Structures are given as structure tokens and as C-alpha cells.
Amino acid sequence: MALKAILWYTTVIPLDRHPHRQHAANYDSEGNIILPMEAPSSAARETPATVPFKPVEQTQERALPKEKKKAFPSWIPRLRSAVASLPSHASANANELLQETARQYRQSAEGCKAISQRTCRGLRGTAGHVWAFLVQPVWVVRPKREPKRYSRIVLFFIDTVRFGGTFAALFVSLFVSLNYQSFWQIIQTRLDPLQEIRTETGLGAGTTAELREKLLKSPMLTTAGSQENSSLLSFLPPVGPPEDRLIIPKLNLNVPIVIPPYEALLREDWTQVETDIQQSLEKGVVHYPGTAKPGQAGNFFMTGHSSYYPWAPGNYKNVFARLHMLSEGDDYWVYYGGDKHRYIVRSITEVKPSNVDVLDQPADRRLSTLMTCTPVGTTLRRLIVAAEEVDPETAEPLAVGQQPVREQPKYKMEMLPI
């Protein structure tokens, strides 16, 4: 484009000055056009200067190399030099950083060493002063006896033992007085080892007698009021006691099972639920609200006191005081709704009071759990006795929905006193 403009401009402007024009333009030695700043004089107009003719081709050839030659910005060489010097600067900075880091670590180590040495010297000095104070002799004046010499440290240990012994004696006496019923029950079991071999038949004697009394008082029976053993009671099929009961042969326990009301549970009033459970514990062991019933899939959960305040109402404040004496393989029986259920202990563990996993209700097993506080007289942990329902006769685990095998005795009609 520049070459075309030069050719066009050169052809348009004549080489000779027109006589009627008021300006004159010249070429310099390099082919550039020169315009005069002031109007030329008349003499100059009359005698025009002859300008040598220079071919356009030569001017173009001499101007082209200057147009093609482009100078680089001044910052590019500086950038190149800076980039070339980056590795050396980075290496120098890294070396300085490492040297400074090592120097700071050395100073820190030296400072820590000096501090530790001063601390050790101070501790040794303090220990020396303390030991000198503790071994100082002290004369103890005793009534009607000669004074006796003790060192301060020996006197300190004597006072500590006296105070600790007094405090421990007071604590033990108070603890035992509050839980004497539970401890006396445990001691009685230890003193009478034959008590552990009693069977379910012996434990159920009281229940059978109570059932007999209720049946004899019923006016619906033909033998009501009879005291003879050959009454209708002997021909009745085996049934459970008139109330729900828990029987543990090994512990000689035969206690009622109490079901607290469900209204507070349905309202999700947990404070009232706890109050209902505490009130029900005064009457026996509690079937925990919301858990499965015996014979159902899930976890039939029962809880009872191992110890409670002596002045609290109720006769079952220490019903589970000896629950820790059960072992894996022991069994217990539950009469619930007139049906008899047998459970065999599978595991005995201790958990934190906040552990609610023990209330889980599996959908594929028939389980039962007994829970109480442990150690006796405290609420630090919970003793968990987990058992599985089995067939009363074969002791085989019962599946969900399976009924135990019960052979009922067959009576002839002429045998019934009707």
C-alpha cells in the first residue's frame, strides 16, 4: 500500500513548478518532498530552479528497506534478560531461605536447651528445699507419755491415713445402711447354697395354691367351696397363674410382672412415662412399654430394682439384687396372659445407662431381656441378661409364629364329677 501511494503521489505532482502556483515543492537528496514555509519571492518565480530528475524506481528501492525494518520495543530485551536470570535468582533465594531456616532452628534449639536447663536447676532446687522441709523433725506431745519425734513427711502420711480411713468408714457405713436389704439378700444366698437348686415346681407352689383358692370361690363351678383334692381343679388342663409372673428358679424368684399404662407413651410424654415406670416398680418387675410381648417377634424387655432407698414404698426394691448370679444356659419362666413361656440365657453384659440399643426389636427372633442397675446400690452401669424363647419341653429355639408342643391329658367323661 505504501508503494502504491508513493507511485500515485509521484505521478500526480509534476516535476516542474507551474508558473501560476503560489507554492513550490522540491525533492531532497533522498527523494522526500519539501514544501516551503513561506511564499517564494518574485525573483524566484521568474527564475525557477531546476530540480534534477530522479527516477521513482530508485527512490522506491531506497525507501523500501527502511519501511520493512521494524525496531523491537525496549522492554523486550529487559524481559529476556530477566527470564534468563530467573534460575540463578531462584537458586540464590532458596539457598538463603534454607540457611535462614536452619539458623532459626538452631536458635530455637539453643533457647529450648537453655530453658530446660534453667527449669531443671529450678526443680532440683525446689525439690531440695521441699525435702529439707519434709525431713525436719517434729516433736509430738502425747498425754501422759513422752513426746515422740516424727519427721514432717511421716506425720503427713499418718494424718492422711487417718482422714482417708475415717472418710472411707463413713462412706461404707452410709452405703451399706442404704442398701442393706440387697446386701443381706446376697449374703443369705451365699450362706445357703442349697437355695440355688430349687426347681420351678417348688417356686410355683404358692401360685398353684392361690389359683386353687380362686377357683374354689367361684360360684360357676360345681365343686365351689369344696376343700377336697378330688375337686374339679384336678381335672382342669394346665393353666398359668391368675396374674403375669416371672419365675427364675436359680435365684428363687417368683415375682409379678407389672404393665404400666400406655397413655403417656402414646402422647410421647417421656417424663410421665418415667414416672409410670417408677410407680410400677413398686409392685414388681416392669414390662417396658412399647416392647414385644412373650411369644411375639421382638424383645420382651423387663426391668427391676437391684437396690433402692429403704424408706421408698414397695416390696420389690431389691428384686434383681442377685441377677448377676445368672449364667449362660440358665433358664427362667414367664407366665403371661395365662400362657407359659420358657427362656434360656444366651449372654450377660454391662452397658452404659445411655445405651438404648438393648431395646431393639428384631423382627426374626423371639428374645427377652432382664435389666437392672449394677453395681448394687449404684446407677453407674446397666446389667443386661439376654435370653431366647425356647420350647418348654424340648428347649429348642422357637421361630416366629411357631407354637410349642403341648400334650394335654385326656379325660373320660365318667371321670368328671359333674
Long-range Cβ pairs for the range 195-200 (8 Å, 24+): 195/252, 196/250, 196/251, 196/252, 196/325, 198/249, 198/252, 199/249, 200/247, 200/249, 200/333
Q: Is residue 103 part of a domain?
A: no
Residue 290 belongs to domain with CATH number: 2.40.260.10
Residue 411 falls within a domain, yes or no? no
pLDDT of residue 88: 80
Residues 173 and 57 in one domain: no
Residues contacting 58, CB < 8 A, separation 6+: 31
Res. 38: pLDDT tops 80: no
Is the domain of 213 the same as that of 265?
A: no
pLDDT tens-digit series, residues 91-109: 888 888 999 999 999 999 9
Cα gap 185→82, rounded to integer Å: 95
Could you please report the per-residue DSSP string of 258-271? E---SHHHHHT-HH
Q: Is residue 186 part of a domain?
A: no
- The reply to whether 249 and 364 lie within a common domain is yes
Distance, CA of 99 to CA of 105 (rounded, Å): 10
Residue closest to 19 by CA, chosen among 45, 52, 51, 47: 45
User: 65 preceded by cis ω (within 30°)?
Assistant: no
User: Which grid coordinates are listed for 101?
Assistant: 531456616
Calculate the CA dihedral of residues 252, 256, 257, 259 and round it to 10 degrees: -160
Same domain, 382 and 267: yes
Regarding whether 359 and 230 lie in a shared domain, the answer is no
Domain membership flag for residue 142: yes
Contact predicate 379/305, CB 8 Å: no
User: Cα separation of 175 and 85, whole Å?
Assistant: 85
Residue 294 shares a structural domain with residue 174: no
CA–chain centroid gap for 404, Å, is 42
Integer-rounded Cα Rg, in Å, for the chain is: 56
Q: 70 vs 174, which has greater pLDDT?
A: 174
Q: Rounded distance, CA 45 to CA 36, Å?
A: 13
Could you give the number of structural domains in the chain?
4
249 and 130 part of one domain = no
Domain of 20, in residue numbers: 2-68
**pLDDT averaged over every residue in the chain:** 77
Q: What is the arithmetic mean of pLDDT over 24-49?
A: 58
Determine the pLDDT at residue 39: 46
- Interval 154-187: pLDDT, tens: 888 888 998 899 989 998 888 888 887 788 888 8
59: pLDDT confidence band, cut at 50, 70 and 90? very low
- More confident call, 355 vs 57: 355
| pLDDT band, very low/low/confident/very high, at 312 (cuts 50, 70, 90) | confident
In Å, what is the CA distance from 55 to each residue of 32, 51, 52, 65? 13, 12, 10, 17
pLDDT of residue 221 exceeding 50, the answer is no
Judge if 227 and 276 occupy the same domain: no
Rounded alpha-carbon distances, angstroms, from residue 42 to 45, 47, 67, 127: 5, 9, 39, 123
Residue 50 in domain:
yes
Residue 303 parent element (H or E)? strand 298-303
| Candidate from 210-219, 241-250, 251-260, 266-275 with smallest mean pLDDT | 210-219
Same domain, 356 and 275: yes
Strand-pair category, 381-390 with 339-351: antiparallel
306 and 370 inside one domain: yes
Q: Is 246 exposed, middle or buried (0-12, 13-18, 19+ CB in 10 A)?
A: buried
Three-state SS for 373?
Answer: strand
Whole-model pTM?
A: 0.56
For residues 254 and 245, what is the distance between their CA atoms, to the nearest angstrom? 7
Q: What angle do CA 347, 356, 354 make, to 5 degrees?
A: 105
Cell numbers for 242? 391368675
Q: Are residues 255 and 344 in the same domain?
A: yes
Domain assignment of residue 73, yes or no: no
**Is 36's pLDDT higher than 80?**
no
pLDDT of 210 > 60? The answer is: no
